[in-house]
Structure 1
């Protein structure tokens, strides 16, 4: 299962341990949803300036957000997709993730992992527009994080919702 991690920012340090953890949570999310092991997900790490541009371009919102997902499986299949299907891109602002980690009183790694899982679930068709859908998505997020070795901290709070 290829997980492509691209760090397009220089404001927040990214180490091998964080990249390894992100690969683990993506693998867990896909395994929990019976997605073939050869499926590909791209995780793009950016700063607030870059995600503000994307947020304006694709959502018409002028300001940063924490995570955006761009699914690739929404249209007709492209030739060659059957060999290594590309699920899509998850774009995360590390500056926003760093602020939210402090706000929610948990580690930066857990926050970035949470945002990664949240984005992957969007790629898989999850949404949080209604209270039942939001609860279903939150349950999946916490289950995946726990299975990947990142249970919710006992003193921290669960995020009220990613910006998407």
Structure 2
């Protein structure tokens, strides 16, 4: 698993190696969803100003948000990786052979705000945002109540498998 991390803001969680945690969560999500490939993604850690700019530019929503996901793949159904090998040139990094999942952008300022608001640790909030975004990269969404419930159940199962609890 390759995670290309760019850290623009340098907000740290005391006692937590963010890169190591991101790798553990991404690997757990890949395993939970049964991805048969090694994978690659990009992770940008930024602040509210930059995520607001990106949100405005790509989604026409002029406000800061906690996390944005930009999947590289389109699925017939979430986590259905069966078609990927037929599209090798579009789906895999030609140098590493890893499946290109997409980009995750996290506002570390919003992560900190939400951890305080929800009364849990920053580590748990960061882990939740990575998990949530990984599911988006696998084709899940939460626009409808049944989709939201499915994502919630998967998020909790992945976090629970790593003993990252509320």
Provide the residue aligned with 1:22 in structure 2. Answer: 22
1:127 is paired with a residue of what secondary structure? coil
CA distance in 2, matches of 1:43, 1:125: 17
Superposed, which structure 2 residues align to 1:53-68 within 5 Å? 53-68=53-68
1:111 is paired with a residue of what secondary structure? helix
Provide the residue aligned with 2:89 in structure 1. Answer: 78
CA distance in 1, matches of 2:46, 2:72: 20
Relative to the length of structure 1, the TM-score reads 0.84
In structure 2, do the counterparts of structure 1 residues 96 and 71 end up closer, same or farther at CA, with 3 Å as the change threshold? same
CA distance in 2, matches of 1:61, 1:150: 31
Superposed CA RMSD in Å reads: 2.0
Is the contact between residue 37 and residue 99 of structure 2 (CA under 8 Å) also seen in structure 1?
no
Is the contact between residue 43 and residue 116 of structure 1 (CA under 8 Å) also seen in structure 2?
no
CA distance in 1, matches of 2:116, 2:131: 19
Q: Displacement of 1:8 after TM fit? A: 1.7
Provide the residue aligned with 2:52 in structure 1. Answer: 52
Superposed, which structure 2 residues align to 1:13-162 within 5 Å? 13=12, 17-74=17-74, 78=89, 81=92, 83-151=97-165, 153=166
- More displaced stretch, 25-34 vs 81-90: 81-90
Q: Displacement of 1:129 after TM fit? A: 0.6
CA distance in 1, matches of 2:91, 2:132: 27
Q: Displacement of 1:79 after TM fit? A: 5.5
Relative to the length of structure 2, the TM-score reads 0.83
**Unaligned regions of 5+ residues in structure 2, if any?**
76-86
CA distance in 1, matches of 2:8, 2:37: 26
**Unaligned regions of 5+ residues in structure 1, if any?**
154-164
Q: Displacement of 1:78 after TM fit? A: 3.3
Q: Displacement of 1:120 after TM fit? A: 0.6
Provide the residue aligned with 1:160 in structure 2. Answer: none
